[in-house]
Amino acid sequence: MKKTILGAIAILGMTAAAQAGFHTGQQVVISDPGMFANGDLGYVHNTPDLIQYIGCTSYGSSAQCMARNLAGVFRSCSTANPAMLASIHPLNGDSHLYFGWNAAGQCTFVNVRNASYTEEK
């Protein structure tokens, strides 16, 4: 009986450790006044809605980033800037993406965060 109780306590301890840690989950946010969009790719992928998405497509020497929020607002930008392309390449399904654009539809910045606290797909 004592071994069973100790085993149960050990399992509960391991479960609590697996659930520990800081986590975030951000849906797609688009700011037209700020001319930026951001969101967690894993979180958006896991939502039950079929509306929002965020990501970038790399074409080698150029790329396009795009986002659509829950209201159906779509924004995108394109770039051939080598520094921005280098930022886009580590983008994966568990990343946080934050990008901005100008009136001509060109990306003004692209930030990719890969961290333990973003939601996984």
The average pLDDT across 91-99 equals 94
The answer to whether residue 69 sits within a structural domain is yes
Q: Is the pLDDT of residue 18 over 90?
A: no
The pTM score is 0.79
Q: Give me the domain span that covers residue 80.
A: 23-113
Structural domain contains residue 13: no
Q: How far apart are alpha carbons 47 and 3 in whole angstroms? A: 42
Cβ within 8 Å of residue 37, ≥6 positions away = 28, 29, 30, 31, 54, 65, 67, 69, 75, 97, 98, 99, 100
Q: Is residue 15 part of a domain?
A: no
Asked whether 78 and 105 are in contact (CB, 8 A), the reply is yes
Give a yes or no: residue 67 inside a domain: yes
Q: Which residue has the higher pLDDT, 113 or 120?
A: 113
Q: What sign has the CA pseudo-torsion 54, 97, 60, 107?
A: positive
